[in-house]
Amino acid sequence: MADLDKSRQAVLARIAGALRAAGRPDGDCALLAVSKTFPADAVRACHAAGQRAFGENYVQELVDKAAALRDLDVEWHFIGPLQSNKTRPVAETAHWVHSIERLKIAERLSAQRPDALPPLDVCVQVNVSGEASKSGCAPGDAIALAHAVAALPRLRLRGLMCIPEPTEDTARLAGQFAELRRLRDALRADGLALDTLSMGMSADLETAIAEGATLVRVGTALFGSRA
C-alpha cells in the first residue's frame, strides 16, 4: 500500500500552494479522498493519517466499506452516477451526494433519507464540457434543477460539481471550471446559500483552485493508479 501519510501531505501541500497562488485564504479548499476500487484497509490507513472525507463511485462499494469501517468517523461522499433503483442505500449511508443530475434522483433521495439522520448534503452535477458521453445536467438546465433540489425537505443543496473534459489544455479546463463558478454565483444571486464548488482531481486541482474550487476530489495522487 502507498505511504498514505506521505501522499496525503503532498496533496495537502499542493492544495495550500494553489490557494496561496490564487490569493485565497488557507483552508479554503477541502480534500475529498476518492477511495473507489481501493480496499477498506486503504481507507483505514488514510483515516489514520488524518483524512475524514472519502468519496466512492459505486453503490455496493460504498455500502460495503461503510459497514467495514463503522468504527471510524468517516464522512462518506457518493460521487458516481446514480440510478433511481439504487438511491435507497445511498440515502441511508452517505453524508453527501455530488452527482445529482436529474430531479427524480433527488426526489427519491429526499424521500428515502432516514428521519434519524440529518438532511443529505448534495451538489448538482453540471456537464460543463458539453460532451454527450458525460454525466451531469446541461448548463442551461442547472439553475432550474438547483432551485428544485433546494426545495426538497430532506436534502441540503451545498453547491455544484463538475468533471471537465480530460485535456491538458489548461485554458480550456479553466474555462470549464469558470463556467461552474458562474452558475454558482448566479444561484447565490438568486438567494441560495451555496458554499461548495466540487471540482478538480489529481491532474488538475491547481487549475480548479485558481477558479474557485472549495473541494477537490483526489484519488490517484493519494492511493496510486487504479487497476
Ligand X SMILES: *Cc1c(COP(=O)(O)O)cnc(C)c1O
Which residue from 36, 44, 156, 172 is in contact with ligand X, where contact means CB under 6 A? 36
Which residue from 19, 29, 31, 79 is in contact with ligand X, where contact means CB under 6 A? 79
What's the min distance (Å) between Cβ of 58 and ligand X? 10
Separation of alpha carbons 133 and 26, rounded Å: 36
What's the min distance (Å) between Cβ of 191 and ligand X? 28
Locate 11 and state its grid cell: 496533496
Residue 91 within binding range of ligand X, rule CB under 6 A:
no
Which residue from 4, 18, 34, 155 is in contact with ligand X, where contact means CB under 6 A? 34
What's the min distance (Å) between Cβ of 151 and ligand X? 25
**Closest Cα to residue 15, out of 221, 176, 189?**
221
Within 10 angstroms of residue 94's Cβ, the number of other Cβ atoms is: 27
Residue 37 within binding range of ligand X, rule CB under 6 A:
no
Locate 161 and state its grid cell: 460539481
Within 10 angstroms of residue 11's Cβ, the number of other Cβ atoms is: 19
Residues 194-213 that bind ligand X (CB under 6 A): 201-203
What's the min distance (Å) between Cβ of 188 and ligand X? 23
Within 10 angstroms of residue 78's Cβ, the number of other Cβ atoms is: 27
**Closest Cα to residue 14, out of 164, 196, 205?**
205
Q: How many of the chain's residues bind ligand X (CB under 6 A)? A: 13
Applying CB under 6 A, the residues found at the interface with ligand X are: 34, 36, 57, 79, 163, 201-203, 217-221
